[in-house]
Chain A
Amino acid sequence: MYDKIFPPAKIVLPNGKIVQEKKSRTPIILVLLLIATILSIRFTDFEMSVLRDRWHQFFVIVNEMIPPNWEYFDHVWKPLMDTIKMSLLGSLLGSIAAVPAAYLASSNIMNRTIASISKFILSILRTLPTLVTALIATFIFGLGTLAGTVAIFLFTVAYVGKLLYEQIENAEMGSFEAMESTGMTRLQSFRYAVFPQVLPNYLSTSLFCFEGNVRYAAILGYVGAGGVGLLLHEGLGWRDYASVGMILLMLVITVFIIEQISEHFRKKLI
């Protein structure tokens, strides 16, 4: 289509051959991006002058956070552990449940209808923002850590499940067929031929997901789903920014430690 409007340039090589150089698409992409930017600026009331005049307001809160309120440590400790427990439990159960989900969703093992239905369900679950899932979960399971765990569980199933079924579909199927031909059932040959191939990647994805989940779990309390987010909500509501600073500092340290541990194991896996 594009080549018909802007015909490719013809270049005659010294040996008499004619090659075609397609016209660059960069200009049209740039124009489209520019139009989208201008429209977005209109829609969001973006104003550079406001940013220029008031940007220091951003640091008002940051300044109040420093120095953090060290005495708040005792208050933060338990909810922080709750957050970690929530994300650990949700990620662990979620990544275990992701295996059957991915098995059902891979089109090279299941028949096509079941696979596409499972894929559809997984992508809807993945699309819902975790905070929205958590909010719905608080209505069903009541306020508290259970709702947060459920939200993390659902997200983990969808995320790990998606990456896992992509792995399974790209796996080498020769040994699977060989095992089936010797009379193994589908499940058995999956277990011994496909699963070992995807196992390292699966574990690495689960760890990575856990890493992200700790960060998500920190804000789930904002909607009442337990953990450190509840304190965050409270501190921000009371404008007690020194305590918020303490919470954030502890959160950063925790996330950093967890990231280091999981990176260590992920490097070992691959």
Chain B
Amino acid sequence: MDALEKQLYASPRNLRYLMTVAILLIVLFVWSLSAINLNNFEQSGWEVATSIITGILQPETDLLFNFTSKGVMYLLVETMAIAFLGTIAGACLAVPLAFLSASNVVPGPVAWLTRILLIFIRTVPALVYGLMFIRVAGQGPFAGVLTIAVISIGMLSKLFVDAIEDLDTSILESMTSIGCSTFEKIRYGILPQLFSMFSSIIIYRFDMNLREASILGLVGAGGIGAPLIFAMNSYRWTEVGAILIGLVVLILLVEFFSNRIRTKLVRG
């Protein structure tokens, strides 16, 4: 047996563990297959599929480049405004909650309770919040802003907490040793560490919120969702095509720029 072979056999084997996981996965797979029933599959499906594709390939250009309040451009700007304002409001709400659930800032039980609250806030689907806020603000983009603000809290504070708990405290120690005051320590020791991380997280969330805002129209909370659903339900596929193309292009553009800004923020 030469050295190479020895090295090969020296690798740890956890075959039993892997087999257990694999069997578990297969069992789960088979179990989940039972949810699928093909009975509802209709012959008209293919026709719809082809008409969707032709609709997307030949979008209604009048609608796409229409700048009035019914056109795709206006709706896209409105969706973006909802996502933007919602993200800012959500970030303002998330910062205190994040500090309250960071285990190195507040005592254990407080952090734990805030975390439970955050899990609750995070799991309630966006559409449910949408309906709740329509009671507050009436139908329209305002309700959308409030909804986006609340649904961003969960993820934002979770990521903020990670950033806060990773804080390099040795910097604060060295600042104390050269005689900095508390305010100076916060301004020059903590803020620079958190600021770039926080802004990167917020930009990332804005990216996601744009997607969320585009479906809020389903419950009447403004944005491009409502016209999209109406067009689909009345089988106007060329309109659907125009809206979808606008939405995809906008989201891709925003994603491209947000990625560039975020790499810049992280690398400094």
Which A residues have a C-beta under 8 Å from some C-beta of B?
36-37, 39-41, 43-47, 50-51, 54-55, 57-58, 60-62, 81-82, 84-86, 88-89, 92, 123-124, 127-129, 131-132, 135-136, 139-146, 149, 215, 218-219, 222-223, 226, 229, 232, 236, 244, 248, 251-252, 255-256
How many chain-B residues does the 8 Å CB contact rule pick out?
62
B interface majority secondary structure: helix
Cα distance A102–B142 when bound, in Å?
40
Write out the residue numbers on chain B whose beta carbons fall within 8 Å of the beta carbon of A252: 119-120, 123-124
Q: A43-B141, A45-B141 are in contact. Are A142 and B42 (CB under 8 A)?
A: yes
CB distance A88 to B82 under 8 Å? no
Write out the residue numbers on chain A whose beta carbons fall within 8 Å of the beta carbon of B120: 252
CB distance A89 to B29 under 8 Å? yes
Interface status of B172 (Cβ within 8 A of chain A)? no
CB distance B41 to A89 under 8 Å? no
Cα distance A149–B29 when bound, in Å?
13
- B52 contacts which of A45, A136, A218 (Cβ < 8 Å)? A136
CB distance A50 to B128 under 8 Å? no
Cα distance A4–B183 when bound, in Å?
34
- B215 contacts which of A41, A62, A84, A132 (Cβ < 8 Å)? A132
Q: Which residue of B lies closest to A83 (CB)?
A: B35
Interface locus among B132-140, B163-171, B174-182:
B132-140
Cα distance A81–B241 when bound, in Å?
34
Write out the residue numbers on chain B whose beta carbons fall within 8 Å of the beta carbon of A50: 136-137, 142
CB distance B142 to A139 under 8 Å? no
Cα distance A251–B122 when bound, in Å?
11
CB distance B45 to A131 under 8 Å? no
Which B residues have a C-beta under 8 Å from some C-beta of A?
25, 28-29, 31-38, 40-42, 45-46, 48-49, 52, 77-78, 80-82, 84-85, 88, 119-120, 123-128, 131-133, 135-137, 140-142, 144-146, 211-212, 214-215, 218, 222, 228-229, 232, 244, 247-248, 251-252, 255
Show 21 A/B contacts (Cβ-Cβ < 8 Å), sorted by A: A36-B84, A37-B85, A40-B81, A40-B82, A44-B82, A44-B140, A45-B140, A45-B141, A86-B32, A139-B232, A140-B48, A142-B40, A146-B37, A146-B41, A149-B36, A215-B125, A218-B125, A229-B125, A248-B123, A252-B119, A252-B124
CB distance B77 to A43 under 8 Å? yes
Shortest beta-carbon distance, A238 to chain B, in Å?
13
CB distance A135 to B45 under 8 Å? no
Cα distance A38–B142 when bound, in Å?
14
Cα distance A255–B124 when bound, in Å?
10
Q: What are the nearest 4 A-B pairs in CB distance?
A: A142-B40, A85-B35, A40-B81, A43-B81
Write out the residue numbers on chain B whose beta carbons fall within 8 Å of the beta carbon of A124: 248, 252
Shortest beta-carbon distance, A96 to chain B, in Å?
10
Q: Which residue of B lies closest to A43 (CB)?
A: B81
CB distance A256 to B40 under 8 Å? no
